[in-house]
Amino acid sequence: MGKGKKEELLKDVNYDEGKGDGDGDGEGFDIPKGYVPMLVGKERRRERFAVRVEVFNHPCMAELLDMAAQEFGYEQKGILKLPCDVEYFLHVVGPNWIIKE
């Protein structure tokens, strides 16, 4: 994924949508500065994460962002959704780059 496509995919991310009380009712959690809120998983089995912005420069994220673009297009509104298994996401990104709700 080229830099322009990545920026286009991230331009409409709603950082406030990841905020809330974290009780699992669709509200999120407070997103620290330097993190991007993401919803990871397929269909109804999704989990919220905050991902450090630095990881978006890593080649491992290109594949995940391509998956998101293919499934949802570049015009995603709100929280960025990744249509992959949570286990795969955790394996690819690694625990040092994320905060789980």
What does 46-73 look like in DSSP terms, one character per residue?
A: EEEEEEEGGGGGSHHHHHHHHHHHHHH-
What's the pLDDT at 76? 81
What's the pLDDT at 27? 52
**pLDDT digits 0-9 by tens, 27-78:** 556 889 999 999 999 888 899 999 999 999 888 888 899 999 999 888 888 8
**pLDDT digits 0-9 by tens, 1-27:** 555 655 655 555 555 544 444 333 345
Q: Which of 76, 81, 19 is nearest to 44 (CA)?
A: 81
